[in-house]
Amino acid sequence: MIRRAQPWLGTLVDISVEGTSSQDAVTAAFAEIARLHRLMSFHDGASDIARINRALPGDVVRVDAATWHVLRLAGEIADLSGGAFDIACAPWLVDRRMLPSPAPAQARPSARTSAAVFALEDEGDVRKRGAGWIDVGGIAKGYVVDAAVAVLEAAGVPGGCVNAGGDLRAFGTMQVPVAVRAPGAPGQAARHIMLCGAALATSGSYFSAREHRGGMVSALLDARDGHPLVS
């Protein structure tokens, strides 16, 4: 077995693969992770997301096909969740100091729906519709994990696991033991799961929750009204 880890996506990304002849495949998978990180980082001023956030209403921003695809998926999930998930929640996160301001020279816009902030046009083109900021942190890790797995499978790796801070996917014949943290006691496991040929992701506020303006906030919120989700 080969196991390597690198810091990407604001967490530690761990790749484990079966066999001992897959070093090049693991290196290629990390290269793809790094590429996607640079495209979709909220913090990197040169990323596609940062350029969309800086754009003015009416501007068209040309983005990578991967970014465009993630934005399309985010819109579908926003619809399916009735707006509970929406990547245009970034102004709330900036206000609560969960994210840095992406455009310090601009006044912080009000949080709006993503449909009010941008529209997807021809593949690769994003039109800014109204003032607003987006953050794909709630969906990009899963997309990047899938992309890394695709690189490994294309290289003929028989099985393995890509884990991006709790967003993980096991593929092939590898069985991966997973301990799910107890929300009220994150140092303990609430459940143990054996994962094989499947993906799993969990979210919790136990590490990001803190006091802000007399109340508790976290990196999790209901995008319909900005209500913080604190366990």
pLDDT digits (tens, 9 = 90+) for 98-156: 999 887 767 889 999 999 999 999 989 999 999 999 999 999 999 999 999 999 999 99
Burial category of 58 from C-beta neighbours within 10 Å (exposed 0-12, middle 13-18, buried 19 and up): exposed
Among 64-68, 141-145, 184-188, the least confident range: 184-188
pTM over 0.95: no
Tell me if 153 sits within 8 A of 133, measured CB to CB.
Answer: no
pLDDT of 182 reads 85
Cα-only R_g, the chain: 18
Residue 202, φ and ψ in degrees, nearest 5:
-130, 160
Tokens of 171: 């593929």
Answer yes or no: is pLDDT of 21 > 80. no
Q: Max alpha carbon distance in the chain (Å)?
A: 55
Query: Cα angle vertex 204, ends 202, 209, to 5°?
Result: 160
Query: What is residue 170's predicted lDDT score, i.e. its pLDDT?
Result: 97
Question: Rounded CA gap, 39 and 37, in Å?
Answer: 5
Mean pLDDT lowest among 34-38, 129-133, 153-157, 185-189? 185-189
What one-character-per-residue DSSP string does 167-227 give?
EEEEEET--EEEEEEETTEEEEEEEEEEESSEEE----STTT-EEETTEEE-S-EETTTTE
